[in-house]
Amino acid sequence: MALTLLAATLLISGSFAHWIEDGGTGLRGVCADGTPSGCLDYADSVLAITGSDLAGEVPAALPGIAYFVSSLGFLTILMGIVALAGMRSGISAWAAGVVALIVLIVLAVQADAAGGIWIPILGALVTIVAGFLPVIAGADG
C-alpha cells in the first residue's frame, strides 16, 4: 500500500513539473492556472508528439477548466487516482502505470524533454511494480 501511495504521489505531483522545453521555456504537464500558457494543453501536446500542428487554432474563449482537463498532465493525475483505486487488487494500478509510462516515454522521445518528466515516469514505473505486488501475493496466498 505504501508503494502505491508513493507511486500516486509521484504521478500526481509530477504533473505540475516542467516536462518539455519549448524554445527555452519549460512547459508543465498540466494547465493549473486555467490558461494555455506555459503548459501542455491539447494543441501543444499534439505539436510536441507529432511535430505538426494538427490541433488547429485554439479557441481563445475556453473556460479554464477546459485547459486543465485537456492538458496532457491531467492524464497522469487520472492515472494516479486509478492507481489509488486499484491499491488492493493491483490490476488497475498496473494498467494505469503502463498507460502513463507509454504516453510519457513517447512524449520524452518525440519532444525536447526536460528533467521534470522523470518524476511521473518514475511514478509510472513504481505504479507498475506496486500493481504487481497484490497480484503476486494473491497467487501465493
DSSP for 2-13, written as a single string: HHHHHHHHHHHH
Higher model confidence: residue 104 or residue 21?
A: 104
CA distance 79 to 105: 15
* Per-residue model confidence as pLDDT tens digits over 74-122: 999 999 999 888 777 777 888 899 999 999 999 888 888 888 999 999 9
CA distance 139 to 73: 34
Which among 107, 132, 131 has a CA at the least distance from the CA of 120?
A: 107
Residue 62, pLDDT > 80, answer: no
The cell for 55 is: 490541433
Residue 130, classed as helix, strand or coil, is helix
Mean pLDDT of 13-28: 84
Q: Is the Cβ–Cβ distance between 73 and 39 less than 8 Å?
A: yes
Residue 12, pLDDT > 70, answer: yes
Its pTM stands at: 0.81
Mean pLDDT of 39-49: 75
Higher model confidence: residue 133 or residue 48?
A: 133
The per-residue pLDDT for 112 is: 82
CA distance 16 to 37: 13
